Amino acid sequence: MRVLVTGGSGYIGNAVTEAFCRAGHSVAATVTSSGKSRVVERFGARAIVWDLGNFRSLAEEIRDCDLLVHAAMMPGADGGAVDRECVTFFLETLETTNGLRRFLYTSGVWVLGNTRGQNLPDNMIPDQSPPVVAWRPPVERLVLESAGRGLTPLVIRPGLVYGGAGGILGFLLGNATPEKGVEIIGNGHNHWSPVHRDDLADLYVRAAEQAPVATIHNATDGSSPTVEMVARALSRALGYEGRISMVPEEEARKRLGGFAEGLLLDQVISGDFSFRTLGWLPRHRSIVSEAAAQVRCWKAARESPSKGG
């Protein structure tokens, strides 16, 4: 397939670009500046310098692709509104192509809110989501409804993504010190549903090649450790003897805004639908037991940013 990836120089998009290249597809990926072209060209992809704020400039590239993977996101308060407008344009443009007209949208598990103790049905779009991601469910509906217009839409909701220099481990490890250990928000009794970014990228390829039309894939590895378990494992791997410190919730909200609300969610989310329908089996199944290896990878990626993503 001719694959176009937005956000190819980003944390998730770069791993997705590599995965599609390794799978033998012809890949073009957007980067935010010419200086970042190398981060996608090293996989064999063609780099396109592109600004999400000027999303209409991608029209000709979209008309030449079979699959559009949207992994770019504009930070800030206007990001949700821009994303909806961007997705609307992407779908309209895909309708005019002679390609396969496939669209894969990146959402996130935070839309599901607190889930522990719930049995979530497959392909559910919630009526309400936490304020920080309340704009996402209407965009998911917009994407899936495009199936009625001759498109093949799919939604992937990554869990807490880790691996390399970025993601949730990059956030926790980057703020850790010998004195404080690893900082967490609140008491750490809430659960996270993680996924390694390499496994996540593999899911993107499988979904693009095999997934039933208009389906939603919650991308988690099936584990749901508590935040305290994750933090103490990382602290031991850093040589900080399992030391952690707890930031009061209100202080974290002032410091991190909506991001803090997401990190405080108590989520136990299964990736079983993708296991069943796509044969997706994550290789990384425990962020806790792999803490030492992940810390080594994080350190190596920080020393060589071009390899770490």
pLDDT tens for the chain, 309 residues long, are 999 999 999 999 999 999 999 999 999 999 999 999 999 999 999 999 999 999 999 999 999 999 999 999 998 889 999 999 999 999 999 999 989 999 999 999 999 999 988 889 999 999 999 999 999 999 999 999 999 999 999 999 999 999 999 999 999 999 999 999 999 999 999 999 999 999 999 999 999 999 999 999 999 999 999 999 999 999 999 999 999 999 999 999 999 999 999 999 999 999 999 999 999 999 999 999 999 999 999 999 887 755 445
> Does residue 228 lie in a domain region?
no
> Does residue 117 lie in a domain region?
yes
Number of Cβ atoms within 10 Å of the Cβ of 6 = 25
Task: Compute the half-sphere exposure of residue 180: CA atoms within 13 Å on the CB side of its CA.
Answer: 13
> Does residue 83 lie in a domain region?
yes
For the chain, how many structural domains are there in total? 1
What residue spans of the chain are helical by DSSP H? 11-22, 38-41, 59-63, 79-94, 136-145, 167-174, 197-210, 227-238, 249-256, 258-263, 272-278, 291-303, 305-308
> Does residue 256 lie in a domain region?
no
Whether the Cβ atoms of residue 121 and residue 269 lie closer than 8 Å to each other: no
| CATH code for the domain of 65 | 3.40.50.720
CA distances from 92 to 97, 100, 231, 307 (A): 10, 14, 44, 36
Report which of 277, 221, 251 is spatially closest to residue 109, judged by C-alpha positions: 221
> Does residue 201 lie in a domain region?
yes
> Does residue 172 lie in a domain region?
no
> Does residue 79 lie in a domain region?
yes
> Does residue 50 lie in a domain region?
yes
Residue 212: which domain range? 2-161+195-221+269-283
